[in-house]
Amino acid sequence: MSSTTAARDPERPPGGQEPTGAEPAGGPARRRRWWRRDRRRPDARRPEPPPAADPPAAPVGAATPRDDADAPPAADPDPPAGPATTADPAATGPGASDPTAAAASAAPPRDARAASAEPATAAENTEPTPATTADPEPTPADTASTDSSHATATATAGTGTGTGTGTDGDPATSTGDSAAGADPAAGADSAAAPPLASDSGSAPDPGSRSGAPEGSDAKRDGPAASTATGTTRTATADTTTADTTTADPASKDAGAADAGTGTESDPFAAFAPPAARPPGRLRRFGRAAARVVRHEWTVAALVSVATAAALTWPTLRHPTRTLPQDTVDPALQAWQLAWSGHALTTDPGGLWNGNGFFPERLSYAFSDTLLGYAPFGLLGEGPAAAVLRYNIVFVLAHALALFGAYALVRQLGAGRAGGAIAGLAFAFAPWRLAQAGHLQVVSTGGIVLALAMLARGHGWALRRGHRFRVRRPGWALAGWMVAAWQLSLGFGVGLPFGYLMLLAVLVTALCWLVARIRRAPRHPWGWRLLLADGVGGLVFAGVGVGMAIPYFLVAAAHPYARRTADLIDLYSPPARSLLIAPGESLLWGPAHAPLRADLGWAPEMTLLPGFTLYALAATGLLYSVWTVRQRLLLLAGAVVTAVLALGTQFLDGRYTYLPLLRWLPGWDGLRAPGRLILWTTLFLAILAAGGISAVLGRAARMHPTALRFGLRTLLRFATVLPVLVLAVECLNTVAHPRVPRPPAALRDAPSPVLVLPSDFTTDSLALLWSTDGFPRLVNGNSGFTPESLARTREAVAGFPDAASVANLRSLGVRSVVVLPDRLPGTPWANLLTNPNLDYSVQRTDTPGATTFRLN
């Protein structure tokens, strides 16, 4: 039964005609309701109920119940004599008129049927209803068939069996090409059902049997063959097409019985293909995982991590025993990662009071804190774990920079090859090799990733412009969160980024104000996006203010720590430094050694973004997917940031860097202007990505004549070659020295402790060694040296004499740990042989260290 019939009111026949005559046996309770339809799979149906007894004959003229509201009422099986109820038997002969004329008076008008159908059934098959003729009286064979089948329509698709019911209410069953019932014509008719109207494109002739085999003469073989009605369906492949008819009252009784139990017999269930077994939970999980793994961003993230591990090799060869570049700043930053995790789990209120630089306060804010990496500090304890943690973060920082630049360029509208070029150029530029010991400078991936998320959230791209219909507030909020995280890593690169974000907000507000004044068409942002920007901006500002407060307190307590114009001039690189590679570059390092000799402080003055990047950016400036205006703006951004990176070496900085130093709060905390080359590299990478994308797009649109000469392959190879050259330019020769093993005496010495000799190298190692228990140390290393530590070093130059011991006791120091193998060449070279020993001090010699207990 189609859903069209089920959706109609069973109490009213089609066309709004009121039912006439007596109700069938059982009354309205036996009528099928749409809410009683069995919605289980065909293979999960319940067994058929036992046959029901034949209902009493309906009175003359009574309306018979119908299984399908679209089918005309079935003729009475035993009508009384009279022209009004009995058809002429000769009407079924060869000379009978078109049977559709007989059905015209019984069936409701087509318009009425169409008007009563619900729109929800338009997607289902609408089968035509052939006309029927009444049989004057049933044959004995038909009666026997009724007793054995009881009006159940079943069929098996695999064996090609089907059942049909004539207008007399008796079923006619066919198996293969022969009938199984007493009426052989029923089987012939059943096997020759017309195709579905939805399959053939037009409704078949209800009065014809075009599918019957030639010579069967189905119109003269009996009433069951010539009067079959109902829904038709065409079997596929090895199945037999069956034609079913309107069920008799017995069928109605069986259907009502099924409806009473919540199920009903579907005569066409066997013709449907076997229902596909729904995938299990494990298979669904596997498919979802496969989709995630194949996604572009997943592939990009995995490739970024693999590329970072390869291009920073051998960082991960001995991750617990070596540090990249040296053991000074990396050791300090390894301690910072460990301290943040330790403080957050033991004493969050004392986070800014590190265990170094005793008795100074806020010593954790003496340099960039890398606080955003605090979750890594929760894993592991001790110096070995600290070194391992640092090496993993070092590799992941490069991977994030590569992935973030790729995501930003893709969001702006470049292709995948352009994104790969931009990612490599931004994350592994030659100037970064000199900064391998500065994790806070390497950690710039949050900048580009935040910009990519914000652009995606606001529906903005260089290539497609500002599309208000694709705004995603969630992405905008996530972009602000990533920006706040980047700011928490430190102000060395975070402060210029913060001012850039402030500038972007001001420019956006100015554009909105100009549009209001000009009464230009406005595109409302929507309250969700405004809320996301408001919340995200407040979080970003809150993190910035929260991070700035300790630094302002440190600057107030140590005014000598401010960066003056003279100190900025000392670290400002000359213009030629934009063409000089650091010594850690495998490709350009040895060749540029004479040029580096003329630089004042080479690690901060070798600013080469890459010769390959220069060439690709020049190509992108001339031919690109970006517009000319956008290319000029990108070029202007690269030039302006390059000028700022030169500090006071460009026009003495009078109109470039020094105004920023005077007027922007916090800018005096930046020591090396050359680190602004980060932004120059980003602008050049975007220009290069536009050029590569344009070349590949031209190759995809080439004329077929050019393809025959292999020009597309040549262009694609021409784009792959710069990627390979750029990767070669990113190769490094960064040293990875071994970290000295911590002395056991330091772990057992009473705290506070002073480690001698005290210099920036040993103090960095002492901080790293102190991750085993975090005892308070007088030693420390940062961007500046506190006066208290400088005075202490001078006061203990004669240790272990009485004056030195008295000075240390006044500070509250309880023990001194001396490292004999590090004493040569320091003011404490003769410490262990000094005859002026204060005998109130207890001395203990252990392998690799000597401990002096002062109390």
Strand 178-179 and strand 842-846: the pairing is unpaired
The DSSP line for 488-549 is HT-HHHHHHHHHHHHHHHHHHHHHHHHHHHHTPPP----HHHHHHHHHHHHHHHHHHHHHHH
pLDDT digits (tens, 9 = 90+) for 267-282: 776 777 777 788 888 8
Name which of 84, 85, 83, 67 is nearest 75 in CA terms.
85
pLDDT value, residue 470: 83
Average pLDDT over residues 74-103: 40
DSSP 172: E
Q: How many CB atoms lie within 10 A of CB 636?
A: 11
Rounded alpha-carbon distances, angstroms, from residue 714 to 338, 693, 707, 711:
52, 15, 10, 5
Banded pLDDT at 50 (limits 50, 70, 90): low
pLDDT value, residue 382: 93
First to last CA, the chain: 99
> What phi-psi label fits residue 82: left (phi over 0), alpha (psi between -120 and 50 degrees) or beta?
left
CA separation for the pair 700, 677 (Å, rounded): 35
Amino acid identity of residue 418, one-letter, is G
pLDDT digits (tens, 9 = 90+) for 81-92: 444 433 343 333
Name which of 146, 195, 190 is nearest 171 in CA terms.
146
pLDDT at 353 over 80: yes
pLDDT digits (tens, 9 = 90+) for 529-587: 999 999 999 999 999 999 999 999 999 999 988 888 888 999 999 999 999 999 999 99
pLDDT above 90: percentage of residues in the chain: 50
CA separation for the pair 208, 206 (Å, rounded): 6
- Which neighbouring-strand residues pair with 164? 172
pLDDT at 216 over 90: no
Name residue, tokens 């992941």.
Answer: 396
Range of weakest confidence among 88-97, 717-726, 807-816: 88-97
pLDDT value, residue 171: 37
Helix H or strand E encompassing 842: strand 842-846
CA separation for the pair 249, 252 (Å, rounded): 5
Query: Where along the chain do its domains lie?
Result: 3-271, 744-853
Which of residues 428 and 222 earns the better pLDDT score? 428
Banded pLDDT at 317 (limits 50, 70, 90): very high
pLDDT at 332 over 90: yes
Banded pLDDT at 204 (limits 50, 70, 90): very low
CA separation for the pair 627, 496 (Å, rounded): 27
- Which neighbouring-strand residues pair with 461? 465
Q: Are 112 and 70 in contact (CB under 8 A)?
A: no
CA separation for the pair 716, 396 (Å, rounded): 31
The 3-class SS string of 751-763 reads CCEEEECCCHHHH
pLDDT value, residue 271: 74
Widest CA span of the chain, in angstroms?
A: 145
CA separation for the pair 847, 855 (Å, rounded): 22
| Residues whose CB is less than 8 angstroms from the CB of residue 64 and which lie 6 or more positions away in sequence, other chains included | 24, 58, 73, 74, 76, 249
Q: Are 851 and 819 in contact (CB under 8 A)?
A: no
Give the pTM.
0.69
Name residue, tokens 């008295």.
Answer: 806
Name which of 677, 658, 671 is nearest 606 in CA terms.
677
pLDDT value, residue 522: 63
CA separation for the pair 828, 851 (Å, rounded): 15
Banded pLDDT at 115 (limits 50, 70, 90): very low
pLDDT digits (tens, 9 = 90+) for 626-667: 999 999 999 999 999 999 999 999 989 899 999 999 999 989
CA separation for the pair 803, 837 (Å, rounded): 10
pLDDT value, residue 723: 84
How long a stretch of residues is the chain? 855
Which of residues 10 and 391 earns the better pLDDT score? 391
Average pLDDT, the chain: 76
With b meaning 16 or more CB within 10 Å and e meaning fewer, what string describes 115-124?
ebbeeebeee
Phi and psi torsions of 156, nearest 5° = -120, 120
Range of weakest confidence among 522-531, 663-672, 838-847: 522-531
pLDDT value, residue 249: 41
pLDDT at 733 over 70: yes
pLDDT at 838 over 80: no
**What's the CA angle centered on 44, arms 40 and 50, to 5 degrees?**
105
Q: How many CB atoms lie within 10 A of CB 594?
A: 8
Name which of 800, 806, 798 is nearest 837 in CA terms.
800
Long-range (24+ apart) CB contacts under 8 A made by 546-552 are 547/369, 547/371, 547/487, 547/488, 547/491, 548/491, 548/666, 550/352, 550/362, 550/364, 550/365, 551/365, 551/491, 551/666, 551/669
Q: Are 19 and 62 in contact (CB under 8 A)?
A: no
CA separation for the pair 151, 161 (Å, rounded): 15
Rounded alpha-carbon distances, angstroms, from residue 556 to 114, 336, 403:
86, 23, 39
The per-type count for the chain, helices as H runs and strands as E runs, is 32, 11
Average pLDDT over residues 369-385: 94
CA separation for the pair 175, 179 (Å, rounded): 6
pLDDT digits (tens, 9 = 90+) for 737-791: 999 999 999 988 999 999 999 998 999 999 999 999 999 999 999 988 999 999 9
Phi and psi torsions of 798, nearest 5° = -100, 15
Amino acid identity of residue 672, one-letter, is A
Q: Are 186 and 222 in contact (CB under 8 A)?
A: yes
Average pLDDT over residues 395-417: 96
What would the two tokens of residue 161 be?
């069996």
CA separation for the pair 365, 526 (Å, rounded): 40
pLDDT value, residue 179: 34
pLDDT value, residue 469: 79
Helix (H, G, I), strand (E, B) or coil at 162: strand
Which of residues 3 and 523 earns the better pLDDT score? 523
> What phi-psi label fits residue 343: left (phi over 0), alpha (psi between -120 and 50 degrees) or beta?
alpha
Banded pLDDT at 110 (limits 50, 70, 90): very low
- Which neighbouring-strand residues pair with 815? 753, 853
Amino acid identity of residue 757, one-letter, is P
pLDDT at 594 over 80: yes
pLDDT at 817 over 60: yes
| Residues whose CB is less than 8 angstroms from the CB of residue 464 and which lie 6 or more positions away in sequence, other chains included | 413
Q: How many CB atoms lie within 10 A of CB 421?
A: 32
pLDDT at 37 over 60: no
Q: In what order do the strands lie in the sheet with 753-756?
A: 753-756, 815-818, 849-853, 842-846
pLDDT value, residue 408: 97
Range of weakest confidence among 298-302, 600-604, 699-703, 756-760: 699-703
Strand 232-233 and strand 849-853: the pairing is unpaired
Helix axis angle, 382-412 to 329-346, nearest 10°: 100
CA separation for the pair 642, 659 (Å, rounded): 16
pLDDT at 177 over 70: no
Q: Are 414 and 692 in contact (CB under 8 A)?
A: yes
